[in-house]
Structure formats: C-alpha cells, structure tokens
Amino acid sequence: MLVKTEYRFLWPDLERVTLRSDTTLYAPGDAITHVYFPIDSVVSLLYKVDESKTVEVAMEGNEGVVGLVFYMGGVKSYNLSVVRDSGTAMRLDIDMLAKYATAPGPLRDLLNKSTHALITQIAQSGICNRFHSVDARLARWLLMTRDRIGSRTLLATQETIARILGVRRSSVTDSASTFQQQKIIDYSRGRIDIIDQRRLLRSSCTCYGIIKRQYDSFLR
C-alpha cells in the first residue's frame, strides 16, 4: 500500500519482519501494538463461527495494512489475523502511526481509502458467503490470492481452503475437481496452478470485481 513518498517518510520507524505461515498476528481481544504492511505475504482476517469453524472475511496483501482497527479507533483486535502465505512485511508501532496519521496528507488519505476498501471487502465477503455457490467463492478466493502474491501458483491444502471459506472439505474437493477437469486449474498436494485465468474469472461471482475495483481505485 505504501508508495515511494510515504515509504521514505516512514522509513526511520519501519521494521522489516518475516511472517511465517500459520502465525497468529492478533487474536480476538489482543491489544493492537503494531500495524503491518505486507510486502509479499498474505494475512487472513478470520471470524469464529463456533468452536470448530472459522470463516475468512478479508485478506490483506501488499495492497493493504493489517491492524487497521486501531486507525478506526479500536485498541483491541476484533478478529483473528493469521498469516496464510509466508513472506515479509514492514511493521510500524501504533504510536508512530498515530503521530504520522494525525496530520492531513498522503498517508492519512491512503489509510482512509484502505479502511474503506477493507470495509467493502468484509461486507462483500459476507454477501458472498451467504448467497454464492462454493464454485464461485473458490474462484473468487483463488483470484484474490493470485492478485496479492503476484503468481498463478498458490500453496494451500483443501482443508485450509475449506476452513477459510467456512465449508466442508468435501465441497472444496468437488469444486477443485470440477475446475481441474475443465482445465481451469491444476491441483496436486497442496499446490494450485491457475491455468486459465479468464475462465476462472467467468466462474467467479461479481464479488471479485467489486472488491478489486475498490482497491484499484486508490492503488493506481
């Protein structure tokens, strides 16, 4: 999310960190101490449905920031933030964020727009999870992940995807098998290769386009 001007401005207070898969950055109720600007990592924002089920309401990659609840006035996390794809991120202490974001300028504008985009993503994910088929939801998730890691090769098990989408593993298996038979993806042992991006896009619901346009509107 950070462009060169803001990056240079914040550089003295930014800390480059490695984020490893399955690491919990924040659990519900945890105090927010830092915000993270992913570089090549992806973080899932999850909500618990019950003791055995969670569902992803948003994902943040290099287009966003993890810990925005602080910027919106919160002091504690309201969701589970888990690293899904390992990589690196720039970490900033919330006191420094408060200092820099108080004054009007490009950073505050970016944070405001990123907050709006995150809210849009969460709202659209809620609609998607309630009304759209598993095939469409899986296609949307694959496309969104591809956008954030910059690769057509994704690493994720069917069990992980099922947990993220809040569905049974067998449902993900059926959808992935259908896409593989149609030569849209190739799937083997936790590795997914997107073969036909256009057909995957046609298989997705409109939610993908709505979310993408919202982020694209301030990242151009």
- Residues carrying CATH 2.60.120.10, the chain: 4-104
Quote the mean pLDDT of the chain: 90
Contact between 214 and 121 (Cβ < 8 Å): yes
Q: What are the tokens at 39?
A: 């570089």
Q: By C-alpha distance, which of 63, 55, 98, 95 is closest to 79?
A: 55
pLDDT value at residue 167: 93
**Candidate CATH numbers 1.10.260.40, 3.40.1160.10, 3.40.50.1100, 1.10.10.10; the one for domain 129-219:** 1.10.10.10
When computed from its CA atoms, the radius of gyration of the chain, rounded to whole angstroms, is: 17
Topology annotation, domain 4-104:
Jelly Rolls (2.60.120)
Q: For 194, phi and psi rounded to 5 degrees?
A: -80, 115
Whether the per-residue pLDDT at 5 is higher than 80: the answer is no
pLDDT value at residue 192: 97
pLDDT tens profile 7-37: 666 778 899 999 999 999 999 999 999 999 9
- Residues carrying CATH 1.10.10.10, the chain: 129-219
Q: By C-alpha distance, which of 40, 37, 33 is closest to 10?
A: 37
Single-letter code of the amino acid located at 71: Y
Q: What are the tokens at 62?
A: 């290099």
CA angle 187, 191, 195 (to 5 degrees): 55
pLDDT tens profile 59-106: 999 988 999 888 877 789 989 999 999 999 999 999 988 888 877 777
Q: In what order do the strands lie in the sheet with 42-48?
A: 24-26, 80-85, 42-48, 54-60
pLDDT value at residue 1: 60
Strands (E), the chain: 15-19, 24-26, 34-38, 42-48, 54-60, 80-85, 87-93, 153-155, 185-188, 191-194
Instruction: Report how far residue 117's alpha carbon sits from residue 61's, in angstroms, rounded to the nearest whole number.
Output: 13
What's this model's pTM, rounded to 2 decimal places? 0.90
pLDDT value at residue 73: 79
Instruction: Report how far residue 29's alpha carbon sits from residue 75's, in angstroms, rounded to the nearest whole number.
Output: 9
Q: What is the mean pLDDT of residues 188-216?
A: 95
Partners of residue 187 on adjacent β-strands = 192
pLDDT tens profile 145-167: 999 999 999 999 999 999 999 99
pLDDT value at residue 45: 96
Instruction: Report how far residue 171's alpha carbon sits from residue 132's, in angstroms, rounded to the nearest whole number.
Output: 13
Where does the pLDDT of residue 200 fall: very low under 50, low under 70, confident under 90, or very high at 90 and above? very high
